[in-house]
Amino acid sequence: MPAKQIKRIGILTAGGDSPGLNAAIRAVGKAAIGEHGWEIIGFRDGFLGLALDNFIELRKEHLSGILTVGGTVLGTSRDKVHRMMVDGREQDMTRAIVRNYRRHRLDALVCIGGGGTQKNALRLAQEGIRIVTLPKTIDNDVPMTDATIGFNTALGIATEAIDRLHSTAHSHHRIVIAEIMGHKAGWLTLGAGIAGGADVILIPEIPYDIEKIAAAIRRRAKLDAKFSIVAVAEGAKSQEDAAAFEAAERRRAKAKTPEEKGFAKLRLAELETEHAGNTLRVARQLEGLTGLEARVTILGYVQRGGTPSYGDRLLATRLGTACVDLLARGAAGVMVAAQGYGVQPVPIESVAGKLKLVPLDHPWVASARAVGTCLGD
């Protein structure tokens, strides 16, 4: 669609809140209004607002003073367009969303979010909505983009937490374990672990052997220092647990009947429940195996909160303004990806449903090993 045909666009933020979302809303809004004179409406609470027609007309005054504010002024949710809880029951809201999009005479929709958002966006693009997405998540696990909005801030917060945990660890000669977010991808834990000088880093991509971790800590206590810092991703798993998860995943993939699929899903849910609280289990096991005291600090939402770093403000502003420029030049069905110093549109279907995990031969992994960090394997 040529530039002059765009008059009105919609915008929403979806998935977990992330530092830099407001910087992205501001960038899209200011460029849309200031450069092109487009109207822009913001839907509240992610795709839920689009389905229920809960919106706000965004004017210049709404876009001022939000660059440094954490969270998202539009609100967010993890709702799926085809399975949304509305009026107390799960409903497919795809039709309602398309209706609202048309009723507002929107020419395009900008969705800022992570993996779940890309999947929702693809579904809506297939229904004829002209959609462009921006990648956001502290997990940094969206494919085809060098970075996602929020990762840089969370990396800084988690690194600072590890720095601060060193005080108690060395003063009390303890094992101090920091649990860092990331169920599937270990970018945040690996990055913060390296930057904060953690002695042990456990990520989902590298299943661990608790005996090997204990041996590394005992060796360190004998030769170097009596304390150790362990950075553990939420989704880090022992080799036995990882094998059980893989078997259940295989069973789900191979399931032929709905019944078989149901059983496999149930097994996965059981495993998830058993895995909850794994970091505390690691602490108990390490105490038993090393004779040292262990303490756990779960960083939780502290990692997602507060002022975005300059890196995230810059990334959000680059991606947000490029998004408007791409829309003006006719883009549709793409995610705006950061690649090197530039920005590239990539098809949403090539990122939706995919995860960018830490490759085992990634330079960060090699560097961590080279400075003597135990990765649990």
Stretch that binds ligand F6P, among 50-58, 134-142, 221-229, 270-278 (CB under 6 A): 134-142
- Work out how close the CB of 193 gets to ligand F6P at its nearest, in angstroms, rounded to a whole number: 15
Phi, psi for residue 143 in degrees, rounded to 5: -70, 160
Q: Which is nearer to ligand F6P, 174 or 304 (CB)?
A: 304
DSSP per-residue letters across 328-374: HTT--SEEEEEETTEEEEEEGGGTTT---PPPTT-HHHHHHHHTT-B
Which DSSP state fits 114?
Answer: S
Does residue 16 bind ligand F6P (CB under 6 A)? yes
Distance between CA 153 and CA 189 in Å, rounded?
13
The answer to whether 317 and 90 have CB atoms below 8 angstroms apart is no
Alpha carbon 32 to its chain centroid, in Å, reads 26
Stretch that binds ligand F6P, among 119-127, 178-186, 198-206, 348-356 (CB under 6 A): 178-186
Does residue 138 bind ligand F6P (CB under 6 A)? yes
Q: Out of 17, 79, 139, 312, pick the active-site residue.
A: 139
Distance between CA 13 and CA 270 in Å, rounded?
31
Does residue 137 bind ligand F6P (CB under 6 A)? yes
- Work out how close the CB of 192 gets to ligand F6P at its nearest, in angstroms, rounded to a whole number: 12
Which DSSP state fits 358?
Answer: P
Q: Which is nearer to ligand F6P, 36 or 78 (CB)?
A: 78
The answer to whether 21 and 13 have CB atoms below 8 angstroms apart is yes
Interacting residue with ligand F6P among 166, 170, 183, 267 (CB under 6 A): 183
Does residue 143 bind ligand F6P (CB under 6 A)? no
- Work out how close the CB of 114 gets to ligand F6P at its nearest, in angstroms, rounded to a whole number: 6
Binding mask 277-316 for ligand F6P (x = CB under 6 A): ---------------------------x------------
Phi, psi for residue 239 in degrees, rounded to 5: -60, -35
Would you tell me how many other CB atoms lie within 10 Å of the CB of residue 225?
12
Torsion sign across C-alpha atoms 279, 277, 183, 118: negative
Does residue 148 bind ligand F6P (CB under 6 A)? no
Establish whether 209 is a catalytic residue: no
Q: Give me the residue label for tokens 């507002």.
A: 104
Stretch that binds ligand F6P, among 83-91, 136-144, 279-287, 368-376 (CB under 6 A): 136-144
Q: Which is nearer to ligand F6P, 46 or 207 (CB)?
A: 46
- Work out how close the CB of 180 gets to ligand F6P at its nearest, in angstroms, rounded to a whole number: 8
Size of the site for ligand F6P (CB under 6 A): 11
- Work out how close the CB of 16 gets to ligand F6P at its nearest, in angstroms, rounded to a whole number: 4
Q: Which is nearer to ligand F6P, 6 or 190 (CB)?
A: 190
Stretch that binds ligand F6P, among 164-172, 180-188, 285-293, 339-347 (CB under 6 A): 180-188
Does residue 182 bind ligand F6P (CB under 6 A)? yes
Would you tell me how many other CB atoms lie within 10 Å of the CB of residue 61?
7
**Closest C-alpha to 109, from 55, 184, 170:** 55
Torsion sign across C-alpha atoms 295, 301, 306, 308: positive
Does residue 236 bind ligand F6P (CB under 6 A)? no
Q: What is the end-to-end Cα distance of the chain in Å, rounded?
A: 52
Would you tell me how many other CB atoms lie within 10 Å of the CB of residue 234?
22
Q: How far is CA 64 from CA 60, 99, 132, 303, in A?
A: 7, 31, 23, 25
Q: Which is nearer to ligand F6P, 166 or 183 (CB)?
A: 183
The answer to whether 200 and 230 have CB atoms below 8 angstroms apart is yes
Q: Which residues are catalytic?
A: 139
What are the residues binding ligand F6P (CB under 6 A)? 16, 78, 114, 137-139, 181-183, 234, 304
